[in-house]
Amino acid sequence: MSHIDETPTLYGLMAEFDNPSDLVRAAERARLAGYRNMDAYSPIPIEEINEALGYKRTRLPLLVLLGGICGGIGGYSLEYWSSVIAYPMNIGGRPFHSWPQFIPVTFETTVLGAALSAFVGMWALNGLPQPYHPVFNVPAFERASRDRFFLCIETIDPRFDRHATQQFLEGLHPLGVSEVAP
Amino acid sequence: MATASNVTHSHPSPERMSADLLRPLLQTSWRFYLLVALLGSIVAAGAVAWVTQMFFGFGISGIRWPIYWGFYVTNFVFWIGISHAGTLISAILRLVNAGWRRPVTRCAEVITAFALMIGAMFPIIHLGRPWLAFWLFPYSSERLIWPNFRSPLVWDFFAINTYLTGSMLFLLLPMIPDFAVVRDKTTGLRHRIYRTLALGWRGTPKQWHRLESAMSIMAVAIIPVAVSVHTIVSFDFSMAPVPMWQSTIFGPYFVAGAIFSGIAGLIIAMAVLRKVLRLQEYLLPLHFENLGKLLLVMALLWGYFVFNERLVTYYGNEPSEMTVFWQTQRDNYAPLYWTMVICNFVLPLIILGIRKFRTITGCVIASIGVVIGMWLERYLIIVPSLGHKYLPYSFGSYRPQPAEITITVATFAAMCLLYVLFAKVVPIISIWEMKAGDHPSPSLIPPATEHHKLGELHL
ipTM of this predicted complex?
Answer: 0.89
Q: What is the pLDDT of residue B375?
A: 95
User: Which of chain B's residues have a Cβ under 8 Å away from the Cβ of A66?
Assistant: none
The CATH code belonging to domain B14-456 is: 1.20.1630.10
Cβ-count burial of B3 within 10 angstroms (0-12 exposed, 13-18 middle, 19+ buried)? exposed
Q: Strand (E) positions, B367-444? A: none
Q: Is the Cβ pair B162, A25 closer than 8 Å? A: no
Q: Looking at chain B from residue 387 to 446, which residues have their Cβ under 8 Å from any Cβ of chain A?
A: 432, 435-436, 439, 441-443, 445
CB under 8 Å to B237, separation ≥6 — which residues?
B245, B250, B381, B382
- DSSP letter, residue B61: S
Band the pLDDT of A8: cuts 50, 70, 90. Answer: low
In Å, how far are A61, B214, B267 from A46, measured between CA atoms? 20, 16, 31
**Optimal mutation site among A22, A79, A81, A146, interface B, most CBs of chain B within 10 A:** A146
CA separation for the pair B282, B105 (Å, rounded): 12
CA separation for the pair B173, B180 (Å, rounded): 12
Q: Which of B148, B150, B199 sits opposite A130 (nearest CB)?
A: B199
Band the pLDDT of A143: cuts 50, 70, 90. Answer: confident
Phi-psi group of B362: left, alpha or beta (phi > 0 → left; psi -120 to 50 → alpha; rest → beta): alpha
Secondary structure of residue B64 in the 3-state scheme: strand
The list of chain B residues with pLDDT below 70 reads 1-11, 439-459
Q: Which residue of B has its CA nearest to A68?
A: B221
Q: What is the pLDDT of residue B202?
A: 87
B228 shares contact with chain A (CB less than 8 Å): yes
Band the pLDDT of A163: cuts 50, 70, 90. Answer: confident
A172 has a pLDDT exceeding 90: no
User: Which of chain B's residues have a Cβ under 8 Å away from the Cβ of A94?
Assistant: 150
Pairing of strands A149-154, A38-41: antiparallel
Q: What is the pLDDT of residue B41?
A: 96
Q: Looking at chain A from residue 88 to 147, which residues have their Cβ under 8 Å from any Cβ of chain B?
A: 89, 91-92, 94, 98, 101-102, 104-105, 107-109, 111-112, 114-116, 118-119, 121-123, 125-126, 128-133, 135, 142-147
A6 has a pLDDT exceeding 70: no
User: Long-range contacts for B279-285 (Cβ within 8 Å, ≥24 apart)?
Assistant: B279/B20, B279/B21, B279/B103, B279/B428, B279/B429, B281/B11, B281/B12, B281/B20, B282/B11, B282/B20, B282/B21, B282/B103, B282/B429, B282/B434, B283/B103, B283/B104, B283/B429, B284/B8, B284/B103, B285/B359, B285/B360
User: Which of chain A's residues have a Cβ under 8 Å away from the Cβ of B184?
Assistant: 142-146
In Å, how far are B228, B258, B338, B344 from B82, measured between CA atoms? 15, 6, 22, 14
Q: What is the pLDDT of residue B162?
A: 93
**Optimal mutation site among B18, B145, B208, interface A, most CBs of chain A within 10 A:** B208
Q: What is the pLDDT of residue B442?
A: 46
Task: Kindly report the nearest CA distance between residue A3 and chain B, in angstroms.
Answer: 27
**Optimal mutation site among B17, B140, B217, interface A, most CBs of chain A within 10 A:** B217
Secondary structure of residue A151 in the 3-state scheme: strand
CA separation for the pair B203, B199 (Å, rounded): 11
The residue among B412 and A180 whose pLDDT is bigger is B412
CA separation for the pair B448, A21 (Å, rounded): 10
The H-or-E segment that residue B352 falls in is helix B347-353
Q: Looking at chain B from residue 150 to 179, which residues have their Cβ under 8 Å from any Cβ of chain A?
A: 150, 154-155, 158-159, 161-162, 165-166, 169-170, 172-173, 176-177
User: Which of chain A's residues have a Cβ under 8 Å away from the Cβ of B451?
Assistant: none
Spans of all domains in chain B = 14-456
- Sequence length of chain A is 182
**Optimal mutation site among B17, B183, B206, B231, interface A, most CBs of chain A within 10 A:** B206
Q: Is the Cβ pair A55, B225 closer than 8 Å? A: no
Q: What does the pLDDT look like over A74-124, one tens digit per residue? A: 999 999 999 999 999 888 888 999 999 999 999 999 999 999 999 999 999
Q: Is the Cβ pair B162, A147 closer than 8 Å? A: no
CA separation for the pair A63, A66 (Å, rounded): 5
Q: What is the pLDDT of residue B54?
A: 92
CB under 8 Å to A95, separation ≥6 — which residues?
none
A135 has a pLDDT exceeding 90: no
Q: Is the Cβ pair A145, B180 closer than 8 Å? A: yes
User: Which of chain B's residues have a Cβ under 8 Å away from the Cβ of A107?
Assistant: 224, 228
CA separation for the pair B450, A14 (Å, rounded): 25
Band the pLDDT of A148: cuts 50, 70, 90. Answer: confident
Q: What does the pLDDT look like over A34-76, one tens digit per residue? A: 888 888 888 888 888 887 787 777 888 999 999 999 999 999 9
Q: What is the pLDDT of residue B11?
A: 63
Task: Kindly report the nearest CA distance between residue A149 and chain B, in angstroms.
Answer: 10
Q: Which of B202, B209, B452 sits opposite A58 (nearest CB)?
A: B209
CB under 8 Å to B320, separation ≥6 — which residues?
B243, B388, B389, B390
